[in-house]
Homo-oligomer: A and B are copies of this chain.
Amino acid sequence: MEQLKQRIRDEGVYLGGGIIKVDGFLNHQIDPQLIMAVGQAFQDAFAGSGATKILTAESSGIAPAMAAGLQMGLPVIYARKKTPLTMSDTIFKAEAPSRTKGGVVPLMVSPDYLFPEDRVLIIDDFLATGLTLVAMGKIIRQSGASLVGIGCVIEKVFEPGRSRVREFFSGPVVTLAKVDVVDSQILVT
């Protein structure tokens, strides 16, 4: 997806420690035109998946997941990291170790919205450590639904995300831009 790649080249900032800042269009400020093009790219990639629902994790996953949901006409569930008062006691839950915040972050989904007959497409902003994706995979397994695809906007090829995802999912894993860091410079392919 050339438009996205050029945007990362133009505005992405390498902060060291494997952290790439793309706050200007994805993680803090959202560019509506770019995010809909992201949604379109996911629709193109997963048109034949038979997905019935999209699952993501709050907060940074919501925008790309919603864009995909709008383009594909699918409901979007965002896993919560804190239990809202509106969530019932019985929930699907998995924990993802957080590198940036320390400790573990729980991900929670209400059983009101995920069913055994669902075919679920996971959409997230980054494929990096893969740990959040593993947790979402566990939640889908708890619900009895099927995972049919994983789409992430940006893949950090220097992190173990893709191999970690391959341990539990053999289907399509699609990323729209791949970034590497060489001599503190961001390389986008």
Interface residue range, chain A: 35 or more
Number of copies: 2
Shortest beta-carbon distance, A142 to chain B, in Å?
16
A63 to B29, CA, bound (A): 13
Residue among A84, A110, A113 with most chain B CB within 10 A? A84
Q: For residue A16, which residue of chain B has the nearest CB?
A: B85
| Cβ of A172 under 8 Å from chain B | no
Please report which residues of chain A, range 48-100, place their CB below 8 angstroms from some CB of chain B when the two chains form the complex: 58-59, 62-63, 66-67, 69-70, 73-78, 80, 82, 84-87, 100
Segment of A20-28, A127-135, A146-154, A158-166 in the binding face? A20-28
Q: Given that A29-B113, A76-B30 are known contacts, is A19 also in contact with B86, CB under 8 Å in the complex?
A: yes
* Distance (whole angstroms) from the CB of A64 to the closest CB of chain B: 10
Known contacts A23-B87, A84-B100, A100-B85; is A28 also within 8 Å of B66 by CB? no
B66 near A29: Cβ-Cβ < 8 Å: no
User: Which residues of A pack against B, CB within 8 Å?
Assistant: 15, 17, 19, 21-24, 27-33, 35-36, 58-59, 62-63, 66-67, 69-70, 73-78, 80, 82, 84-87, 100-101, 109-110, 112-113
- Which are the 8 A-B pairs with shortest beta-carbon distances? A58-B59, A21-B86, A59-B59, A32-B69, A30-B76, A29-B113, A62-B62, A32-B70
